[in-house]
Structure 1
Amino acid sequence: MTDRISVNGAARLSEAIHKLTAMFRQHKYVVVSLRPGKDRTLDQNALWFALYQRIASMTQIGDVDEARKYCKLHMGVQILMNEDEDFRNAWHRTMKHLAYEEKLDLMGNNPLFGPDGFPVTRLFNRAQGIAYTNRIVDDFTAKGVVFDDLLNQEAA
């Protein structure tokens, strides 16, 4: 059983203390890891979903899920291939031989990897997440998709 809590206010701090206390009482041994900083998943995932929505509405790529799968396969996989030797080796062993459509399908909801599909963006560190955002924006801006309003909200 693993819990992950981002503490960003008094209520979340109280929740974390409560869960830690309950887990200690039940198991008597608990491993705790702490780090300062913002959780990538909160802000970046919200921005990515907005980007996928915009891509879906301004292109012929399909719905939001299709936009997400496309971005994961074309931008996200490339980032990990360039920066993570273990990922690159595993990709070559397990995924490279598959047809394009199969790879694309595996990026979304499927029985093998679940509702989030093949792990790509969830493996990113913060810098890789920023690079992913930039690649999406650069690629689709060149195709006429406008993201300025979404990116201005991100900066605010």
Structure 2
Amino acid sequence: MTQIAVRDESDRRRLMALIQSRKPPFTASLSKGAPRSLKQNRLQRLWMNEAEEQGDQSAEEYRAFCKLHFGVPILRAAHEDFREQYDRVVRPLEYEMKLLLMQVPIDFPVTRLMTVPEKRQYLDDVYQHFTGLGMGLTEPDWAGRELA
């Protein structure tokens, strides 16, 4: 499956060329919004490492906690298909099992499914949570965190 984030006119031309080059039959779908940005991903990783240095869990354990407590509610509210699948497969599981599912090696997809605005909300929630616990996190570039 090919996925192209169209952020500018050059991306749009590349997508149009790809569609024109394909011979039917094929399936195409479009969704509103661009996927999370690399800057957002780097900021999330930085914060998980900073939390590990100050807390009592590994960065991966903190990442799993954040995916489950902040990411899943964002996606459940925004995407009916995610909500239906999550509620059918994951929601009935015990809490500890859900946390394990969020971690490597299974790494249940949550933040990688987010658009830029969804990831911005997720980062806001993560920042509020950890700083509310008294942890010091690198101050984000609030204006730049939604750039690609």
Which ranges of structure 1 fall in alignment gaps of 5 or more residues? 8-12, 18-22, 32-36
- Secondary structure at the counterpart of residue 37 of structure 2: helix
Confirm whether residue 73 of structure 1 aligns to residue 68 of structure 2.
yes
Q: How many residues align?
A: 136
Confirm whether residue 139 of structure 1 aligns to residue 129 of structure 2.
yes
Corresponding residue number in structure 2 for 1:34 = none
Q: For residue 150 of structure 1, report the CA deviation from its aligned partner.
A: 3.6
Kindly indicate whether structure 1 or structure 2 has the higher relative contact order, using CA contacts under 8 Å at least 6 residues apart: 2
The one-letter code matched in structure 2 to 1:85 is E
Deviations 1:22-75 (A, max 9, x none): x9xxxx7489xxxxx986331110000001111111122x11111111110111
Identity percentage over the alignment? 33
TM-score by length of 2: 0.72
Cα RMSD of the aligned pairs, angstroms, is 3.3
> Of 78, 85, 93, which aligns to 1:83?
78
Alpha-carbon distance between aligned partners in 2 of 1:41 and 1:47, rounded to the nearest angstrom: 10
Which one has a larger percent helix, Structure 1 or Structure 2? 1
Provide closer, same or farther for how the CA distance between residues 133 and 155 of structure 1 changes in structure 2, counting only shifts above 3 A.
same
Provide closer, same or farther for how the CA distance between residues 5 and 84 of structure 1 changes in structure 2, counting only shifts above 3 A.
closer
Larger Rg over CA atoms: 1
Corresponding residue number in structure 2 for 1:96 = 91
Alpha-carbon distance between aligned partners in 2 of 1:5 and 1:127, rounded to the nearest angstrom: 14
The one-letter code matched in structure 2 to 1:129 is K
Alpha-carbon distance between aligned partners in 1 of 2:123 and 2:85, rounded to the nearest angstrom: 24
Q: Contact 1:50–1:150 at 8 Å: present in 2 too?
A: no
Corresponding residue number in structure 2 for 1:106 = 101
Question: 4+ residue stretches of structure 1 with deviation over 2 A?
Answer: 1-7, 28-31, 37-41, 153-156
Corresponding residue number in structure 1 for 2:29 = none
Deviations 1:91-128 (A, max 9, x none): 11101111111110010113xx4xxx101001101110
Which ranges of structure 2 fall in alignment gaps of 5 or more residues? 27-32
Alpha-carbon distance between aligned partners in 2 of 1:84 and 1:67, rounded to the nearest angstrom: 24
